[in-house]
Amino acid sequence: MPRFIKNIESRNNVAFFLLSYCMSCANNNKNKMSYHLSLLNNIVYLKYSGHVDALECVQVLKDNDFLPKLSEYKKVIYDFSGTEDIDLNLEETKRFSIIANVEANFIDTMHIAIVLSGPDGRSRAEYYRDKISAPSWRVDIVDTLEQAMELLDS
């Protein structure tokens, strides 16, 4: 993806547009957010639980700590292993990969590990990985948190 976004105002405008677009497609779920953001060994750790849809993913992007932590640590685990179900279609998954490509203009390198909730999530995770065009962003898809930690600790 070309580095076409030159300043923070443009970045915020693009991010706002994409977030608004994603939210327009998300279910209007009024329940408690189903994620917990923390640090594990200098790795940003995002643990999802319960029902996850596009709204939860957008809420993470709006979390005041998420993007600054990504910029600082450059490693993240998206852990879906504790979810009951994930309601993200391929179009929504593509939109989140577009957001990642925008962020690649500001965060040169990133190592992402996606912990699957089960075999059904593999195709969605692979689709996300394949849509990220930043050559210095690496996405690994694993079955357990232990596998993710091993990959990101190295």
Write the burial class of residue 59 (CB in 10 Å: 0-12 exposed, 13-18 middle, 19+ buried).
Answer: middle
Of 106, 97, 95, 125, residue with least CA distance to 20: 95
> Is residue 58 within 8 Å of residue 22, measured between CB atoms?
yes
For 74, other C-beta atoms within 10 Å of its C-beta total 19
SS3 track for 20-43: HHHHHHCCCCCCCCCEEEEEECCE
Which residues are 79's β-sheet partners?
Answer: 47, 115
Question: In this predicted structure, what is the pLDDT of residue 62?
Answer: 86
Containing 123, the helix (H) or strand (E) segment is helix 122-131
Question: In this predicted structure, what is the pLDDT of residue 28?
Answer: 46
- pLDDT tens figures, 75-131: 999 999 999 988 888 899 898 899 898 999 999 999 999 999 988 889 999 999 999
Rounded CA-CA distance 1/23 in Å is 24
- pLDDT tens figures, 124-154: 999 999 999 999 999 999 999 999 999 998 7
Q: Which of 13-27, 50-64, 131-145 has the lowest mean pLDDT?
A: 13-27
Question: In this predicted structure, what is the pLDDT of residue 25?
Answer: 47
Q: Where do the domains of the chain lie, and which CATH numbers do they carry?
A: 8-153 (3.30.750.24)
Whether the full predicted model's pTM is greater than 0.75, yes or no, is yes
Strand ranges (E), 33-109: 35-40, 43-53, 75-87
The whole-number average pLDDT for the span 38-60 is 91
